[in-house]
Structure 1
Amino acid sequence: MTIDIRKFYQITNPSKTLNINNGVDDQYYIDFSSVRGGDIISELKEKITFWQPDEPTCTLFTGHIGCGKSTELLRLQAELEKDNFHVVYFESSEDLVTTDVDIADVMLAIARRVSQSLDKITLEEPKKLKELLQGAWKVLNAEVTAAELKVPGVGDLGFSQENEKFSLAFGIGKITARTKSDPSLREKLNQFLAPQKLTLLQAINQELLADAIAKLKQQGKKGLTVIVDNLDRIDNRVKAWGRPQQEYLFVDQGEFLTKLNCHIVYTMPLSLKFSNDYGMLTQRFPEDPKVLPMVPVQFPDGSIHASGMALMQQMVLARAFPEIAPAERLKNITAIFDDATTLEHLCRMSGGHVRDLLRLLNSLIQKQREFPLRRETLETVIRERRNEIMMPISPQEWQLLRRVKETKKVSDDEGYQKLIRSRFVFEYRSGGESWFEVNPILTETEELL
């Protein structure tokens, strides 16, 4: 069976998220729930559609960056929309400066995206929100003349030239654009909104969400769900007052995240599960975070996890042969690789991390430039990747990695948080069992032998 190597390279791009809603990517999707300890997305859907359809829900969803959370959340969107819910999915990294996030930034981003998604529904004018936004606009422009700005005056915030009616999304968008590249303006905005965040929350709930849900139900929709993706990517740098940003947002301000009166799902940094403040975080939210673990490709004793390995192999083969049955794909492995063991080794060295598998595969294709992809070239790619990721590892971190390798456990120590964030350590769940492993790329280093 002939395969276009350039097309194969493009479809294995590790930076591309599968969107099973577009009618094309669904043929490449592999359901890993059977080896990940359960179908988390079905649980989330049931919570919203069956258990609490008419009550607000709030869920934290976490896992290693690149493990497939976005793909699964897009599947959740598709499932909820089939069940007649209005779903607003957005990547928060497009709205927020991930190195400097405040709770008001998150609330404004949600309000903007919800308002934007309802452009065909006429909502009541949000008077309090309008007042808050215009106050913020005055603060931001206090030291700049209208001529220098070359934008409509303060009183025109939220009014586009095409439409004289106030647009909440347009108004928030102008403020976001004004502050995104200027830290001093972001600081001014947060200083203005911080004392009023409760007022902001109440205004969003009363003037936007309540009206939106009522109008949606009049149109036959069952409710509103907001999915805030990429919030797990916020930087953990320390705020000016000494608090790490992730703990500040999800622990100190967690109560505000839970108080929006709609169904809402946030992605959360996995490292927070290993923070000393994790117990406090679980008190802020109605239930523990849902974790999307790695796909297990081997058991703690080092033996191959047959089911996990088979699904990871299918993920690769589906990119090459999307139109044929899984069993038939296995018969065509040698059309891509020099031997079936090369594909197995690729999957094992990925550690069951979806994006890392694609990264290794993509580099292998680029380096080889022709089929079949050979084992010796794969070993070169692995060595290059190993050299790249081991450079920043300190002697203390090597010691922690040796401990993980021996015990298959981590603690709430700050050092382990960095190992999790840096993807030096992966979490697995299978058959009711949970364990941790060092990233297989690192296991053959002198420091761990």
Structure 2
Amino acid sequence: MSIWDYRRNFAYDEPLDPGDERHVALNDARGDYNSGRLLRELGVDVASRALRNRPVGKCIVFGGHRGCGKSTELRAIAAELQGSERFFVVSIDALQELDINNLSYADVALALAEALAERVAAAGIEVPQVYLTPLQEWSRQVSHQISRSSSVDGALETGAEAKTGLPLVGSLFARLTTAIRSNSTWKTEIREQVRNSFSDLARRFNQFLSFVEDELGRQGRARALIFVVDGTDRLRGDEADAFFIRDIHQLRQLRANSIYCAPISVLNEQGQVTQNFDAIVRLPMVKLADKGSPTPNGIAWQRLREFVHRRLPPEHFDRESTLDRLIDHSGGHPRDLLRLLNLCFQEIDEGPITQQVAETAARRLSNEYRRLVQPEDFGLLAAIDQAAADYTPATKETRRLLYDLVLLEYNSYWWQTHPAVRTLDGYRSAVAAVAGGDGPPAG
């Protein structure tokens, strides 16, 4: 087949299901990461694949770099959790269902209620009206209060009443989440109403959830329920701090087991995040070598070659070293490896990908990173790279650099500058200055 036939395999933001033919398990190339730790934290005996201790309100944050494979790994974890002896899994993609550029805990609470009602209905589970009426009344009351405002019309009070039971609950909450996503005026007023009556919502939600979990157990479908929330790792700066540090205690009033995907910048606010979650699970970058070591990590290189060849057969490279050049320039970052291949595709109509094409793609990626680095960043980056592995100063600057992938985090949580940045003249000058005895910057 032509190289054109494979380009569709290199989409950046396409998490893979465990059964996808392109899926390659990268976890043994990440170093200190084992999904079994997360499963055991949730009470799952990994050997027997059975839930031994039923958790209640367990809340886990799952974090790492953008593009390191968190969404694909979360899908694999959700598949492991799903089962009659384990969990009934309700997955939510915040990128698809919420406004990730303007997100509040109130939005997520509404989305959890909507998703739970819809997933339970799809599973054919009958829920007595006594558990549904409180949620219906709460949603109607919020819609009525908003529609009384002079700034909005009565549209929120119409459109779902033809349904009954669980479909009605799902539609009522969907109407609110849709309004938040699509209308800036309603967004503010709905959030205010949710905040003012959040304790009431939590109480009604928890009653509904408790019945569903008991019914799942009675029917032998699952021993507990868990939400897996992806996409919240796109939050950054103050919005990330608000959600994961200042406001998460509100969501924890909902006594639901949950896993929230988080940006790497939040994980470096270790003390505050530890207080808010029951466990922190980090997905490190694929480790091409230990810090400062010239010896490659053979497993990592093998896995990333397979990662590419599942998408593009080896004959579309002029030699193995051409692909290795791209892997090296990616720093072990899976999405950047896909980006590099896409940059190669922009240079050619026919294969194979040659060393010259790979070098052009590498330069173009470096130029993209050039726009993310401030001149004053280079000294800090050079100091981190040349210092011991435990030199990881958690500052506002390093959090930004980690979020932007300028600085990459590896398995024992040591940091290293992205290879695309290390080719820049500013970085090379900073390395020379540090080597000349200037040393790491203060702080």
1:306-321 correspondence runs (5 A): 306-321=298-313
Contact in 1 for aligned 2:372/2:406 (Cα 8 Å) = no
Count of aligned residue pairs for this structure pair = 412
Residues 395 and 39 of structure 1, relative CA distance in 2, 3 Å threshold: closer
The letter of the residue matching 1:122 is: E
User: Aligned partners of 1:279, 1:352: CA distance in 2, in Å?
Assistant: 28
Give the alignment's TM-score, normalised by structure 2.
0.87
The structural deviation recorded for 1:406 is 1.9
The structural deviation recorded for 1:183 is 2.3
The letter of the residue matching 1:400 is: L
2:37 maps to what in 1? 43
1:124 maps to what in 2? 128
Residues 344 and 165 of structure 1, relative CA distance in 2, 3 Å threshold: closer
1:381-410 superposed Cα distances (whole Å, 9 cap, x missing partner): 111121122124212222222222222533
The structural deviation recorded for 1:79 is 1.5
Residues 393 and 209 of structure 1, relative CA distance in 2, 3 Å threshold: same
The structural deviation recorded for 1:414 is 0.3
1:226 is the counterpart of 2:227: yes
1:46-445 correspondence runs (5 A): 46-48=40-42, 49-50=44-45, 53-56=53-56, 57-82=58-83, 84=85, 85-119=87-121, 120-125=124-129, 126-143=132-149, 151=155, 154=157, 158-159=160-161, 161=162, 163=164, 167-206=168-207, 208-221=208-221, 222-236=223-237, 244-275=238-269, 278-287=270-279, 289-303=280-294, 304-321=296-313, 333=314, 335-407=315-387, 408=389, 409-429=391-411, 433-445=412-424
1:325 maps to what in 2? none
1:240 maps to what in 2? none
CA RMSD of aligned residues (A): 2.3
Q: Which deviates more, 41-50 or 186-195?
A: 41-50
User: Aligned partners of 2:96, 2:150: CA distance in 1, in Å?
Assistant: 26
5+ residue gaps, structure 1, are: 237-243, 322-332
User: Aligned partners of 2:385, 2:84: CA distance in 1, in Å?
Assistant: 44
Residues 107 and 145 of structure 1, relative CA distance in 2, 3 Å threshold: closer
The structural deviation recorded for 1:315 is 0.7
User: Aligned partners of 1:307, 1:205: CA distance in 2, in Å?
Assistant: 45
The letter of the residue matching 1:411 is: P
Residues 52 and 228 of structure 1, relative CA distance in 2, 3 Å threshold: farther
Identity of aligned residues (%): 24
Contact in 2 for aligned 1:40/1:290 (Cα 8 Å) = no
1:326 maps to what in 2? none
User: Aligned partners of 1:294, 1:247: CA distance in 2, in Å?
Assistant: 23
The letter of the residue matching 1:167 is: L
Contact in 1 for aligned 2:55/2:224 (Cα 8 Å) = no
The letter of the residue matching 2:225 is: L
User: Aligned partners of 1:372, 1:105: CA distance in 2, in Å?
Assistant: 48
2:438 maps to what in 1? none
1:330 maps to what in 2? none
